[in-house]
Amino acid sequence: MNLFKNKDSSRKIGPKLGENYKILKNEFKPRLYEDQINFDRMRMYRLNRIKEQLLQNDIGACILFDPINIRYATDTRNMSMYTMHIISRYVFIPAQGPVILFEYPKSEHLVQDVCTIDEIRNCIIWDFFSNGKNVYSKALKWAASIDDLMKNYVSENKNLAIDVLDPAGISALKDNYKYKLYNAQEYLETARSIKCEDELICIEASVRNAERGIMQMHEKLDANMTEEELWSYLHKANIETGGEWFDTRLLSSGPRTNPWLQECSNRIIQKNELVAFDTDMIGTYGYCTDVSRTFVEGHKLNDDQKKLHELAYENIMHNEQLIKPGVSFKEFAENAWRLPENCFDNHYPCQVHGVGLCDEWPFVGYPENNYTDYTQADFSGVFEENMTICVESYIGEVGGREGVKLENQYIVKKNGLKLLSTIPLNLI
């Protein structure tokens, strides 16, 4: 479906970064698989996915503030962590019409010639950090500018979707204009869930680079080093291959592996202790690598550690066999591996989740848990071809000393799963 008409139909595919600055090719070290990726084709695929969602749901336009959503829609970024908490960058995307990026002041040069963007304007910033007591008056100015955009590019459709917005912005819109506001996150998560071939290559590059860091961690693991020192090998591998940040720093040792979800600390790793970690790494090309392994200092499990590791391994192996296109989340959850009763209250929050630019929809929980049973969680979706997903396992007895965390990353293919994680689950 071609969503671009009139001016948009002749949209020029922009140059690669650096072409306008006459930078010699040999001044840049190519990133992994760079020559296999058609970046502009990927950019237009992602933008089209969003516009298709807007049309299908009768949404006139969306406004995106979340830097990950902006990255997906436009393939541009600027101070991503900063703009997660300071409202200083957003993009206006009508269902049919030009894409307008409102950029942080003095930053227009960062996003010139990107094929997804028709116009760049200075953003209107109304957060307290920048405006003090003038927050609401600036928010009113922003709301008026959005009203102008809707009148010019959306016609009579009053349905507007926004992903993240503070109370001042919401009030400015709702108090002065008659737009019906929708949560854009639903449409963005749905769009992001199905990857094109170029995205899949980006993801594989991120995984390969992450595995360099994982193997360095395996080689360097030794008693008397801290958890943070061990984690630094993964961080270095990410940064030096074009990666960006980590959603978490989940690495723990010994008794800190149970219960799970403890981030790395200055604790000194002791002899023969388990060391468990989850990468949660926003890596090469902005795509996430989300795999988990559990090693042991000295690389030899004792009997108790071996039992935990074998259960987690069995958990992953069983569940991965259940997933193929057309299988519903409910069907999967009903047939999934059952955790030992003495481990259930320590279970990981989900069994399967999507992954792309970060952890993404879907989120498939445990039906027998009152927190995520069929009445409270959404099990209505189905696995689809070219989803990228992670299968999770955490095994740790309630009150036990240690726990094991394992996780693999996959592509959902026509006949089942393609494993992206090449480091064996049983590497210790």
Residue 375, domain CATH: 3.90.230.10
Task: Indicate if 250 and 336 belong to the same structural domain.
Answer: yes
Residue 158, domain CATH: 3.40.350.10
Q: What CA–CA distance (Å, rounded) separates 32 from 66?
A: 27
Q: What CA–CA distance (Å, rounded) separates 97 from 33?
A: 33
Task: Indicate if 207 and 186 belong to the same structural domain.
Answer: no
Task: Indicate if 253 and 117 belong to the same structural domain.
Answer: no
Neighbours of 97 (CB within 10 A): 23
Task: Indicate if 16 and 96 belong to the same structural domain.
Answer: yes
For 62, 116, 200, 225, 232, the CA distances from 188, given in Å and listed in that order, are: 10, 16, 18, 42, 33
Looking at 146, 162, 192, which one is the last position of a domain? Answer: 192
pTM of the complete model? 0.93
In a domain, 41, yes or no: yes
Task: Indicate if 184 and 328 belong to the same structural domain.
Answer: no
Q: What share of the chain is helix, strand, coil (3-state, %, to 5)?
A: 40, 20, 40
In a domain, 428, yes or no: no
Q: What CA–CA distance (Å, rounded) separates 229 from 83?
A: 29
Task: Indicate if 58 and 88 belong to the same structural domain.
Answer: yes
Q: What tens-digit pLDDT sequence spans the chain (428 residues)?
A: 333 333 343 444 444 444 444 445 568 899 999 999 999 999 999 999 999 999 999 999 999 999 999 999 999 999 998 898 888 999 999 999 999 999 999 999 989 889 999 999 999 999 999 999 999 999 999 999 999 999 999 988 999 999 999 999 999 999 999 899 999 999 999 999 999 999 999 999 999 999 999 999 999 999 999 999 999 999 999 999 999 999 999 999 999 999 999 999 999 999 999 999 999 999 999 999 999 999 999 999 999 999 999 999 999 999 999 999 999 999 999 999 999 999 999 999 999 999 999 999 999 999 876 666 666 778 899 999 999 999 999 999 999 999 999 999 999 999 999 999 999 999 99
Task: Indicate if 174 and 279 belong to the same structural domain.
Answer: no
DSSP state of 401: S
Task: Indicate if 387 and 274 belong to the same structural domain.
Answer: yes
Task: Indicate if 175 and 221 belong to the same structural domain.
Answer: no
What lies within 8 Å, CB to CB, of 233 at 6+ separation is: 213, 216, 217, 220
In terms of residue numbers, what domain contains 345? Answer: 197-419
DSSP-based three-state secondary structure for 269: coil
Task: Indicate if 262 and 399 belong to the same structural domain.
Answer: yes
In a domain, 409, yes or no: yes
pLDDT at 376: 76
Contact between 355 and 389 under an 8 Å Cβ cutoff? The reply is yes
Looking at 136, 171, 192, which one is the last position of a domain? Answer: 192
Looking at 192, 223, 257, which one is the last position of a domain? Answer: 192
In a domain, 1, yes or no: no
Task: Indicate if 174 and 205 belong to the same structural domain.
Answer: no
What is the sign of the dihedral through the CA atoms of 242, 248, 249 and 255?
negative
Task: Indicate if 17 and 151 belong to the same structural domain.
Answer: yes
Say how many domains are in the chain.
2
In a domain, 96, yes or no: yes
pLDDT at 18: 42
